[in-house]
């Protein structure tokens, strides 16, 4: 009897091991922020160097996984298989500078990498995203305080801008992460354009 029981347990163990060996985990999907195409508008008569520095996002979204909030609740979902290919804090300065360059003629914006970049910039831009949220069946919203300073650190302009749009519809009960990444890109671009407009009017 004991031998029969032992054989049964061995067979069950082998079966479980075989199933585990044959199974594969779901592959991760990666998303990136992009710069939407837009017709360039007239800017300053002379080329102006602009440095993008100190861009930050809320700690709750400062992670590889994309975060989605359930509408009307305090519940959030951290998607283990839908991720930003690059951290938002490092991606945003590049995206903001590219948006500004694409939008306004004669603005040369670039992320600040070192003190030389800062000293060679006429204006320095800091952006603090205080809201970076997508809500299922609701709104996707970003809100940011941004400042424009001279290269001595004196603040010339400080404003808060909020951009919001309907969250893309879900697919088969799950968020459309690709469309959500595209929407975030559009909203970030709109904030970038507002900053560029202000700088282009400065003397």
Select the highest-mean-pLDDT range: 76-85, 91-100, 166-175.
91-100
How far apart are alpha carbons 195 and 203 in whole angstroms? 15
Token digits of residue 182: 């595209």
Any residues with CB less than 8 A from the CB of 26 and at least 6 apart, and which? 81
Tell me if 174 sits within 8 A of 23, measured CB to CB. Answer: no
Q: Which CATH architecture has domain 30-200?
A: 3-Layer(aba) Sandwich (3.40)
For residue 73, the model assigns a pLDDT of: 86
What tens digit of pLDDT does each residue of 30-59 get? 999 999 999 999 888 899 999 999 999 999
Token digits of residue 171: 């697919």
Report the residue count for the chain: 203
- pTM (2 decimals)? 0.85
How far apart are alpha carbons 139 and 106 in whole angstroms? 34
- How confident is residue 17, by pLDDT bands cut at 50, 70 and 90? very low
């Amino acid at each position: 009897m004991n031998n029969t029981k032992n054989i049964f347990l061995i067979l069950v163990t082998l079966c479980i091991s075989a199933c585990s060996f044959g199974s594969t985990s779901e592959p991760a999907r990666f998303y990136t922020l992009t710069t939407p195409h837009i017709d360039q508008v007239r800017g300053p008569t002379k080329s102006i160097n602009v440095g993008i520095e100190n861009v930050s996002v809320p700690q709750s979204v400062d992670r590889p996984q994309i975060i989605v909030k359930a509408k009307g609740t305090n519940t959030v979902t951290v998607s283990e298989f839908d991720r930003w290919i690059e951290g938002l804090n490092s991606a945003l300065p590049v995206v903001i500078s590219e948006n500004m360059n694409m939008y306004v003629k004669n603005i040369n914006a670039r992320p600040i990498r070192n003190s030389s970049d800062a000293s060679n910039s006429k204006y320095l831009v800091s952006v603090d995203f205080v809201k970076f949220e997508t809500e299922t069946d609701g709104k996707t919203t970003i809100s940011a305080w941004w400042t424009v300073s001279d290269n001595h650190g004196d603040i010339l302009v400080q404003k808060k801008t909020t951009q919001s749009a309907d969250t893309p519809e879900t697919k088969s009960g799950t968020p459309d992460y690709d469309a959500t990444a595209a929407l975030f890109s559009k909203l970030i671009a709109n904030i970038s354009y507002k900053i560029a407009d202000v700088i282009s009017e400065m003397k």
